[in-house]
Structure 1
């Protein structure tokens, strides 16, 4: 086996271009500013990325199935609101660990229920996922604004801050949560029957039905699991901001879609892996942090992200053409 074949076997063809870009981004910013590779900046990146990462994982599986979940931000916020409400009912800053566990359980149930409702409508009514998730997004936003009167809910116990600002063995707790979620996602997609069904449904839902896959059950499960990871993101956001507000993270919705496409997820479903998406998230965070350190306008990072997506697509196209010629030559 040649070196190129070994690299492809380990990293995958969609991962190699991202690793190249990751190295170039780190090299460029390390030369541009000595602050980029400092422990303080890398630690800051590790605290900032997990919320976007968790929301991206919530977006990933619906896209793999050929759908989309536009409600992820508001599922996260309404789940965080469920946690906040529980803590407030049990004394706010004086609430104990039991109240927190109850609040987390309620938050996860709210996220799962909102996702399951979307999945059921998509599966049994046949409505398009974009329309269904858009309707859920509007509903959850209105419900959240009604419950909070458009304001924030704050006043959590001190130990909740650990989830947003704490570290374990030098690794930020939010990053640990994201890594564990990514590992679970990878195992679910690659090692379980449900993961196989997700890819099959995304590739061809009619063929999946003929092959004996319970496509309706699969779709309901997909969106329910997406809701669960949204709830986890909402809990981390509540701990990071020490408050819950309906509008937290609104700007991240399109970035999650961008991260999925950068990570090689087929926009039509049926193909994609977790590892390339995780690398894409690191690149996006590095671009944002690097531009901030060199004093660039914060809005410039959005434009750079778009150019980066174009560059990655161009590099993949070149790679496909090159491999095609290699096969013809052999």
Structure 2
């Protein structure tokens, strides 16, 4: 066999498998029910998961870094409510209301990251506390009621189209592309893999892990806030219950896409595949009139399988790395002997 032949990595096999399974589900249900791959249904399919997909983009960075952010669903609802109140009750123009809401979302992420860094507490605890706190705030400032009455210019952010494609889908696609390229090639974001693999080693190597952590939690919260703003425009109303359990769907999309839940590996491409897979599964349950209670069963099973596969891949990669190092050590004396002779 030619030694120059490029070996397919285990994570690439996982991506190929995920693509084939997604296509098999879509084509299979199309053949049976005939309504899955229609233009109208594909638009519905994309919109059903686009807001969780935007949150999954930020969650990808956090999980690769070895963290977790459970607060994104509450940030999502908070952004909905805040932008609605700023426009409807405070009378602010759309641009200013949206800008202030994005800044507020960034502040929440900064608080998450700062508390995690200063208190040295697992991010699960900090972000869970933020989730519960914001949920209470959302209920308190709305009395459990919806806020509506938006202008057409604001509604365009959720209901408008560019070249026949909904604005939120454009936002998801552009954000995934740009941030995916940064994650793959920019030195600052490449540090996330180092931190996720071994935070202690990264710190000893001169990486400012505290600064990186805070900035990534700001990014994750900002994307959740942007999703909330567009969701309010999409639904025409803001409600504290919107986005319920969205954090679990975002985490599931990241895990199904092959990102190691323990940190250190993952790609934006995998997350996009995970989002598409979950959107297809959800859509076929709706269009085929299957009992929707089974949807969570399938999602949970796929999440467990994805975590199992990602851990197996991570362990195999680690074994391969150790094997390569050992081979290099074994070959070193031979090279020295040849040089001395």
Q: TM (normalized to structure 2)?
A: 0.85
Could you say which residue in structure 2 is the equivalent of 1:36?
36
* CA distances 1:76-110 after superposition (whole Å, capped 9, x unpaired): 1212222112211454xxx7xxx111111111111
CA distance in 1, matches of 2:170, 2:188: 25
Paired residue for 1:149? 143
Q: Displacement, 1:161?
A: 2.0
- Matching residue within 248, 262, 266 for 2:260: 266
Distance 1:210 1:320 in 2: 23
Which of 268, 287, 290 is the equivalent residue of 1:293? 287
Task: Report the TM-score, using the length of structure 1 for normalisation.
Answer: 0.88
Contact in 2 for aligned 1:25/1:283 (Cα 8 Å) = no
Note the 1:150-189 alignment, pairs <5 A.
150-189=144-183
**Which residue of the partner structure matches residue 75 of structure 2?**
75
Q: CA deviation at 1:210?
A: 0.7
Structure 1 residues 34, 321: closer, same or farther in 2, change over 3 A? farther
* Matching residue of 2:335: none
Indicate how the Cα distance of structure 1 residues 157 and 261 shifts in structure 2: closer, same or farther if over 3 A, else same: same
For 2:291 and 2:140, how far apart are their aligned partners in 1?
35
1:14 alignment partner, SS class: helix
Question: Are the aligned partners of 2:182 and 2:189 in contact in 1 as well (CA < 8 Å)?
Answer: yes
Q: Call closer, same or farther: CA 1:17–1:118 in 2, change over 3 Å.
A: same
Deviates more, 1:166-175 or 1:63-72: 166-175
In structure 1, the residue corresponding to 2:66 is in which secondary structure? coil
Structure 1 residues 17 and 314, CA, compared in 2 at 3 Å: closer, same or farther? farther
Distance 1:321 1:201 in 2: 17
Q: 1:253 to 1:321 in 2, by over 3 A?
A: closer
| Structure 1 residues 116 and 310: alpha-carbon distance in aligned structure 2, compared to 1, 3 A threshold | closer
Specify whether residues 60 and 320 from structure 1 end up closer, same or farther in structure 2 by C-alpha distance, changes over 3 A only.
Answer: closer
Q: Rate the CA distance shift 1:7–1:149 in 2: closer, same or farther, 3 A.
A: farther
Q: Distance between the aligned counterparts of 1:123 and 1:221, measured in 2?
A: 11
Q: Distance in 2 between matches of 1:67 and 1:253?
A: 13
Q: CA offset at residue 319 of structure 1?
A: 8.9
Q: Do the aligned residues in 1 keep the contact of 2:259 with 2:310 (CA within 8 Å)?
A: no
Distance, in Å, in 1 between the alignment partners of 2:119 and 2:184 is 29
Query: Residues 263-286 of structure 1: CA distance to partner in whole angstroms, max 9, x if unpaired?
Result: 111111110001111111111111
8 Å CA contact 2:76, 2:243 repeated in 1: no
Q: In the superposition, relative to structure 1, how do residues 60 and 322 fare at CA in structure 2: closer, same or farther (>3 Å)?
A: closer
Name which of 280, 303, 306 aligns with 2:300: 306
Give distance in 2, aligned partners of 1:292 and 1:133. 32
Secondary structure of 2:245's aligned partner:
helix
Matched, 1:250 2:233: no
Instruction: Find the aligned partners of 2:7 and 2:18 in 1 and give their Cα distance.
Output: 13
1:54 aligns with 2:48: no
- Aligned match for 1:229, one of 223, 226, 230: 223
What's the offset of the Cα at 1:173?
1.5
- Which residue does 2:270 correspond to in 1? 276
CA distance in 1, matches of 2:201, 2:7: 33
Match of 1:104 in 2: 98
Q: How many angstroms apart in 2 are the aligned matches of 1:310 and 1:216?
A: 31
Aligned-pair CA distance for 1:308: 3.2
Displacement of 1:303:
1.3
Give, in whole Å, the separation in 1 of the partners of 2:84 and 2:27. Answer: 42
Which sections of structure 2, spanning at least 5 residues, go unmatched? 324-341
Q: Aligned-pair RMSD on alpha carbons?
A: 2.6
* Deviation digits for residues 101-134 of structure 1 (CA, Å, limit 9, x no counterpart): 1111111111110011110111122111011001
CA distance in 1, matches of 2:115, 2:273: 33
